[in-house]
Structures are given as C-alpha cells and as structure tokens.
A and B are shown apart, each in its own frame.
Chain A
Amino acid sequence: MSSSQERLPRLLALVPYLIARPGIRIDEAAADFGVTARQLRKDLELLWMCGLPGYGPGDLIDLSFEGDTITVTFDAGMSRPLRLTGAEATALLVALRTLLDAPGVADADAVRRAVAKIEAAAGQAQPAGVAVALGVREGARTARSRQVVQAALTAGRALRMTYYTASRDQVAERTVDPMRMLIVEGRSYLEAWCRRAEAVRLFRLDRIDEVTELDEPAVPPPYAERTDTTAGLFRERPDHEVAQLVLEPDARWVSEYYPVERLTELDGGRLRIRMRYADQSWMVRLLLGLGGDVTVEEPAVLAESLRERARRALARAGQLTVAP
C-alpha cells in the first residue's frame, strides 16, 4: 500500500486516537502510527483545516498544541474510529486464533478474551476466507525441551544442550545463549548464540535431545542479530555446492520442501531443478532415499558418490543371508 493510500485511514483514526489520550506527545503518537513526527504534524495541520459545513471557528476541528504535546478541543463529530473492514477483522482474528494453536506462545485465556472483545466491537465484520493452523506436532520430548528453553529465555539463562545436526548427521553438545523462540512453517525453533559456532543459529526444538538450564546468564554479544525470516530460513552461502537434478513426479515434493531453483518442466511431469547444499553427505542421504525418482545431472562427483554408496549398501544387505 502506498503512503498516500494509507493517509486517509490515518487521518480518520487520528482524532479519536488523540481524544483518548489528551496531552500525548507528538513523537509518541507518530510512533504508534508508524510515521515520522514531521508527517504527523502535517496530518494535524490538515485536520485543523477540516470541519463541518459552514467552516467557521466553531465548526472546524480544533487542536491545542502545548510544547510537544497535543489535545483535541473540538472533534467535529469524529469521536470514534471507523469500524473494522472484513479484511482487517480477518487478518487480526485469524492471527489471534492461530496463537491458540501454537504451543506455549501466548496465554490462551488472554487470547480468547481478546478475540471475544474484538468480535463484539467489530460487529458485522466477521473473519472470512482465511483459516490458519500452525499444526505444530510436538512429541513428549520436544514439549519438555520447549518448557526448559522457555524457562531459560524468561530467566535470561544460558543452556547446554545435546543437539542433532541433520546436515552432518551428528549429535553434539553445545552451549548457547538463547535469544527468542520462533514458529516458522509449522516448526518450533530456538534462536540462540552458539558459543561453539560463534554465530547466531536456529535450532529446531524437535532436534534437541537433551537440554539443561545453566546457572549463568545468557549473554549473546551485542552484534548478534536476529534472523530475518521473511525470505525463509535457508541462507545461500558462497561455499555451497550446487546440484542439477531431474525429479520424477513422485519426487517433485523436493522442489516444494527445499528452496530450489526450478529450471525446466520436462515431459511426463518431470522437473529439472538446481539445488544448493552445504554438505555432500546430507545430499547423498536425501538422494539415496529418493531412489529412482531423481537423476543427478551435475556435479559428476555427487552422482558417483551416490552410486558408490548405494552399491556398498546393497552388498552389505546381501551379507545378511550369509552371516548368522
């Protein structure tokens, strides 16, 4: 939405907002509306020129400025905000209900009360057309990990944990300084400063095997930045390998599950993709599992390593009938 399209809703909301907060500081109001103090002053100047037909001194919206604060002295009949539109009610109420379904996110009782109050105030603007369920599947072990992690976040303590790194298929001990928890695409993550990697890492809660709160404060360095999740969680790095693959129809899910570049649609519903990977052993594991539903076109070393590993696996499985 462009800034000009946002202006009218803001102008209509501004007078009731100020009525509810007599003497509010202009910069504080600007922050609530997400605009600069300069823009807010322009809005106020514009509103000052508006009013009821006649447009005499008693008809115009009247504001009193005192230092950096502002008070509405005449509202020209605009005392309440405009009701919610269907789209606004949908975005807000669906989001609130989604929180109910996410483990440990918000106080469920508070969410239910907020939903009831907003529904009552919104009147006929009922949510429609959008439904969301995070559907986080959480086993008993993950639920326990989540409780420990949440307690540590609240108390501001570091954690020691046994964590499974899928890319390397390794379980290792790590000490981390928790920063926050996230739920992205139906999965729960802990974002933390990893002291071993000396970097911010996202840890999947279902890959934490054991976790203990330490008796020392969480101290992520000041330069530890939160991960921007708007573009997904996978970060391309220059040292990543790139594979070119052809997916049979049964393996097309790979192109939906992992971030890939779709190159060409081929006959028979096959798809040629380019996919980045940090670790060859991980990639071989994925491809072995796909069996005949994927063809490795590049790089040759990956195709060779895949074939070799499959051959050795078959040979070993063949020993079953020989060995006791």
Chain B
Amino acid sequence: MSVARAERLVNLVLCLLSTRQYLPAERIRAIVAGYTDAPTDEAFYRMFERDKNELRDLGIPLEFGRTRAVDAEDGYRIARRDYELGDIDLEPDEAAAVALAVRLWDSPELTGAAAGALLKLRAAGVDVDQGVPAVVEPKVRTTEPAFAPLLAAVQAGRAVRFDYRRPSPAELRTRTLEPWGVVSWRGRWYVVGHDRDRDAPRCFRLSRIVGEVTAFGPTGVVARPPEVDLLEFVSASTGEPPDTTTARLWVARQRAAGLRRRARVVGERTLDDVPGDVIELDLFHPDSAASWIAGYGEDAVVLEPEVLRKSVQERLLAAVGGVEARR
C-alpha cells in the first residue's frame, strides 16, 4: 500500500467517524485529503470503490443512507458505537491466558487473525506479555490444504464441492456439502455440514479430501442449525465403542516391553522351550489390540480369548502369505 493510499484511508476513517451526517461521495471527494488528486470523476469513483472495499474487509462498519428523508443523495458514515471495541481490562493472569491462546495456532489463517485480535486488545490498553514462557504449550496445526478454502466457505456461508476418498470400503466420490464448521478433534481436522447428496448431516476428515475445494453459489445461505454442537457431532461420529476385555498372553522373558508395561504378570510358563511370563492385559479396542500384539511376533502369544488369538493368527498368516503371494 502506498503512503498516499494509507494516508487517504486513515483520513477517510477519521472523517467518517467524526461526522453524524451521512456524507455523499461528492462531499467526501471535496473534503477528504487525497481524493482531490483524482483527475476525473471516473478515477475518483474507482478509487473510492476500492477504498470502501478495503475498509469493509477490515471489518469497519460503513453505513450507507441519508440523514433526512428530504436529502437529495445517500451518503456514508461510520457509527462510532459499532466501530469501537468495548472497554476491556484484563488481570495479569487473564492476560497470560490470552498470550498463551494467541500462540496456540500453527496456521497461517488463524495465527494472523489471533495476532490481529491481540493488536486491538493492546490498543485498548491491555498489556499482554508474549515473552513469558508457558509451562505447557499446546499447538494446533492446520497443514491440510483444504483448511483455508473450507474455513473461508464457512465464514462466507457458501456451499462447497470436493472429492473425498473413503478408505473402507474404498471409494472416491464428489461430495456436495453445506459446511457448518471446521473442527479439530484430537489433532485431526474435520468439516461438518449438511451433505446434499445424502440429505443428512455428515463429517469429513480434511486429510481425505483430494484436490481442490470449490465454493459455489450465493454467500450467506449456509448456517449451522442452532441445535448442532460441532464438537459433539465429530466426537460422536469418530468415537470408538468402549468395549473392555481382558486378555491372557504368554510373553518371552525380557521381551515385548511395550506389552509388559501395560500388563500384570500372573505366572510363569515355558513355551516352545522358551522361558516366559503369563500376563493379563486390559484391552479397550479389540481390533487395534490384535494388530498391536501381532507386531510382537514370536515374543507374544495369545492364550485367550479365542477371538483375539484368531485375529492375531490371521494377521500373521497374511504377513507370511501376503508378502509371498505378491512377489
């Protein structure tokens, strides 16, 4: 932005903030420093149009109307009560929380917006010290390319279209969604909205979106229904059933440390001439537990339950056969 343009915009804001009357464009041209340079009417209106957009993009509430019904023309002003940030005063511990919150994002979109908010809080007289190290620093990253266009579509209230790959059963399909929000749940990003093809609410994982996200149609038509809690929707859709079972395993002596640290040793046993221990293990997700145990190969053998023994065996058989069959 040129010095002249920055200066003109500041002058425009000061002028429109100070007036109670709506000022017609021609009046603005005559009194605000910077517009008198415009050589033609057309040049002025182009310049003024750009400037208005710039102010609106910054969130400046530009009002358009007429002061009295008898006025010949509509004009512009900025209502001070809508422009100004309300009074705010933070205690040191509250300011420390804000400092930590601003550092949460590892995301171009959200880092910039949080920094903008911090700037305004400081301008309101709040002292926020960013130099104080925190004991724990949470970080939320947005690396998925789909994040920025989806957030923009949510904020604009527009529908989107994207290709989505569902892993199992495998399927790559174009989805049309009215997006209500983007949600980070346990370090993964999802978009929640109304799926137009299925005519039902759905959530999609951002990392499974293939290619571009295209926003289409008018803005301001999509809004989250007030009864929908985005976080609840995602956590309910991705939650695993809490189904606990206790398994008994034989593990070779001094081996399978990862299993042992989660288990209780309940006896000793020699298997295949190898000394070992019998352990008991509480399992929450039987399926992932089978993978976990199979990973230990001959160092861990399931004694019971039978269903777990079988699923470990299936994985091992596939690892023997699978590699050979495809060579």
CA distance A218 to B180 in the complex (A): 47
CA distance A284 to B319 in the complex (A): 10
Interface check A91, CB cutoff 8 A = yes
Task: Count chain A CB atoms within 10 A of each CB in B31, B100, B102, B303 and give the residue with the most.
Answer: B100
Residue of A whose beta carbon sits closest to that of B205: A256
A209 touches B261 (CB 8 A): yes
Q: How large is the interface on B (under 10, 10 to 19, 20 to 34, 35 or more residues)?
A: 35 or more
Interface check B246, CB cutoff 8 A = no
With contact pairs A50-B14, A135-B185, A180-B137 given, residues A13 and B113 touching in the complex (Cβ less than 8 Å): no
B187 touches A8 (CB 8 A): no
Contact pattern, B 208-226, Cβ under 8 Å of A = 1, otherwise 0: 1000000000000000100
CA distance A35 to B116 in the complex (A): 14
B119 touches A269 (CB 8 A): no
CA distance A87 to B292 in the complex (A): 42
Contact pattern, A 292-306, Cβ under 8 Å of B = 1, otherwise 0: 111110000001001
Contacts of A7 in B (CB 8 A): 1, 6
Interface check A120, CB cutoff 8 A = yes
Interface check A118, CB cutoff 8 A = yes
B1 touches A4 (CB 8 A): yes
| 20 further contact pairs, Cβ within 8 A, besides A249-B170, A323-B272 | A14-B123, A21-B125, A46-B6, A82-B120, A88-B117, A95-B110, A96-B97, A99-B138, A114-B95, A133-B235, A183-B137, A229-B106, A232-B143, A253-B167, A256-B208, A287-B319, A288-B296, A289-B290, A307-B319, A319-B271
Chain A nearest CB: distance from B239 CB in Å?
A: 10
Tell me which of B37-45, B65-73, B78-86, B194-202 binds A. B78-86
Q: How large is the interface on A (under 10, 10 to 19, 20 to 34, 35 or more residues)?
A: 35 or more
Residue of B whose beta carbon sits closest to that of A59: B14
Chain B nearest CB: distance from A305 CB in Å?
A: 10
Contact residue among B60, B89, B316 (Cβ-Cβ distance under 8 Å from A314):
B316
B291 touches A290 (CB 8 A): yes
Interface check B33, CB cutoff 8 A = yes
Tell me which of A164-172, A195-203, A235-243, A272-280 binds B. A164-172
